[in-house]
């Protein structure tokens, strides 16, 4: 969350001439609700099941695509392995300070942050990184998007 997956992914897709897919956007379109409405109405468990079903559908499409997953998706048991088997996974790892700035300026669009103070958001970011870090580290490539441009990542991808 707040790592720049959508922004970075769109630019990377443009550079390497792949379509760009944002799983959060697809789920919103399919269910005709915002992520916040889904979390509020159906709950996080329902949302995670929708993510699993969507990623399984996407990996069966024979298309050149850059897929931006939701931040929690790689932490769903078995999913990072499935993603690694079907493509080149990239962990965007900006500084916690950058993530904090992004999230505190966009709290209303982040259902997991609803009602949190800025101090609680910082603690949440640190905890999420601890909880999900082992999953994220299983990606084939880890980069800091503050230091590596989409152009440079494209060069790295073509060496795979």
**What pLDDT is recorded for position 154?**
81
Write out pLDDT tens, residues 71-81.
888 888 888 99
Write out pLDDT tens, residues 106-143.
777 777 788 889 899 999 999 999 999 999 999 999 99
CB 2 within 8 A of CB 105: no
Contacts of 30 (CB under 8 A, 6+ apart): 50, 54
Contacts of 28 (CB under 8 A, 6+ apart): 34, 35, 38
CB 69 within 8 A of CB 23: yes
Query: For residue 111, which of 54, 52, 27 has the smallest C-alpha distance?
Result: 27
Q: Considering the domain delimited by 5-144, tell me its CATH architecture.
A: 3-Layer(aba) Sandwich (3.40)
* pTM for the whole structure: 0.84
Q: What residue spans define the domains of the chain?
A: 5-144
Distances (CA, A) of 41 to 24, 31, 116, 126: 16, 12, 19, 27
């Amino acid at each position: 969350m707040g790592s720049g997956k959508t922004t970075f992914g769109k630019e990377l897709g443009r550079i390497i001439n792949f379509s760009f897919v944002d799983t959060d956007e697809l789920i919103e379109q399919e269910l005709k609700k915002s992520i916040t409405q889904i979390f509020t109405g159906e709950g996080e468990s329902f949302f995670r099941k929708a993510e699993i079903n969507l990623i399984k559908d996407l990996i069966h499409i024979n298309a050149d695509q850059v897929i931006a997953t939701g931040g929690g998706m790689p932490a769903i048991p078995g999913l990072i392995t499935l993603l690694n088997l079907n493509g080149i996974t990239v962990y965007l790892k900006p500084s916690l300070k950058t993530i904090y700035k992004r999230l505190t300026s966009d709290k209303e669009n982040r259902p997991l942050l609803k009602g949190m103070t800025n101090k609680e958001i910082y603690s949440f970011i640190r905890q999420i990184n601890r909880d999900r870090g082992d999953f994220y580290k299983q990606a084939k490539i880890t980069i800091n998007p503050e230091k590596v441009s989409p152009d440079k990542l494209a060069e790295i991808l073509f060496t795979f």
